[in-house]
Structure 1
Amino acid sequence: MRVILRTDVPKLGKTGEICEVSAGYARNFLLPQHLAYPATPGAEAKVADEQRIKQRRVEKEHRSLLELAGQLRDVSLTIAVTVGAQDQLYGSVNEREIVEALKQEYSIELEEKNLKLEEPIRQLGVYRVPVRLAENVESMVTVWVVKSDGQHQS
């Protein structure tokens, strides 16, 4: 019997897939548990349409992520921090501060988990911070960590 899965079913398939199963398995387990429904010609056509729509949406999202990755390559953030003797930072610059600076200066909203800092920045300087937007979409952001205006440089 051919069925269309409503949800992911382990060892059988993912949502929307059309599977061939025994009539007993379908009648006694998949259908009563609302895990699948019979694969009629109309239902198969509907699933095919939904998959095409989903594919278009995924492609559009991927294009927008690639565009954002291009924008991020051109971004140069300046984060002013307070420093002590020998230009040692009080505290550090972490993902949260970089995300906030991106939002304020460029209106680009990312999540902290998108930034891949190996460890917080603890010294003045220029840093290239990797940004992972999706599985196969990555970019870099340039971050300048400088003394705040209230301090003079030695």
Structure 2
Amino acid sequence: MKVILIKDVDNLGAPNELVEVKSGYARNYLIPMKLAVEANPSNLKQLEEKQKVKAKKEASMLAEMNKVVEVLKAAPVKLTAKTGTSGKIFGSVTSLQIARAIREQKGYDIDRKRISIVDEVKELGVHKATIDFGNNNITEIDFEVVGENGETAAAPAAEAEA
């Protein structure tokens, strides 16, 4: 018997998925527990409409995500940090600091849990972070760590040579 799942069912499928199950399982468990509905013509038509709406929504979200990625890749986000005399920063840069900088400088609110820093950041300069937008949409962005007094990674090295 073919049924359309309403909720996620372990080892069977996700919501709005058409699956084939034994008729006893469908009639005695899935349908009474409101986990699925019978795959009749009207329910199949509703499923098709839901899938069209979902595809349209995903396409608009993908377009919005691409716009955000373009803005983030256009110029690196700048973060300020307290530094010692050698150009090393006190502590390290966190995903929360990157999320705040993106919100302040670019105007996009990205959850800090979606941001991961490629390497531990302990010194000034340009570094990389990845942002996971979901659905295997991952992008890598650059961010620059500068000192509170405006010094960059090149400044301490230039002073050392002089």
The normalised TM-score by structure 1 is 0.84
Question: Which residue of structure 1 lines up, in the alignment, with residue 132 of structure 2?
Answer: 132
- Cα distance, 1:83 vs. partner? 1.5
Q: CA RMSD in A?
A: 2.4
Question: Which residue of structure 2 lines up, in the alignment, with residue 54 of structure 1?
Answer: 54
1:55 alignment partner, SS class: helix
Residue 26 to residue 88, structure 1, CA distance change in 2 (3 Å): closer
Contact 1:75/1:141, CA 8 A, preserved across alignment: no
Question: Which residue of structure 2 lines up, in the alignment, with residue 83 of structure 1?
Answer: 83
**Large movers: runs of 4+ above 4 Å:** 150-154
How many residue pairs align between the two structures? 154
Paired AA for residue 78 in structure 1: K
1:144 alignment partner, SS class: strand
Unaligned runs of 5+ in 1: none
Bigger mean CA deviation after superposition, 16-25 or 54-63:
16-25
Question: Which residue of structure 1 lines up, in the alignment, with residue 97 of structure 2?
Answer: 97
The CA distance in 1 between the partners of 2:3 and 2:150, in whole Å, is 69
CA deviations on 1:19-46 (whole Å, 9 max, x unpaired) are: 3333322222222222222222111111
Residue 5 to residue 143, structure 1, CA distance change in 2 (3 Å): closer
Bigger mean CA deviation after superposition, 61-70 or 77-86:
77-86
Contact 1:3/1:38, CA 8 A, preserved across alignment: yes
Question: Which residue of structure 2 lines up, in the alignment, with residue 26 of structure 1?
Answer: 26
Question: Which residue of structure 1 lines up, in the alignment, with residue 71 of structure 2?
Answer: 71
2:91 alignment partner, SS class: strand
- Cα distance, 1:54 vs. partner? 0.9
1:33 alignment partner, SS class: coil
- Cα distance, 1:139 vs. partner? 2.8
Residue 90 to residue 54, structure 1, CA distance change in 2 (3 Å): same
CA deviations on 1:43-94 (whole Å, 9 max, x unpaired) are: 1111111111111111211221122112111132222222123222222222
The CA distance in 2 between the partners of 1:141 and 1:41, in whole Å, is 48
Answer 1 or 2: which has greater strand percent: 1
Contact 2:118/2:130, CA 8 A, preserved across alignment: no
Residue 88 to residue 4, structure 1, CA distance change in 2 (3 Å): closer
Paired AA for residue 123 in structure 1: E
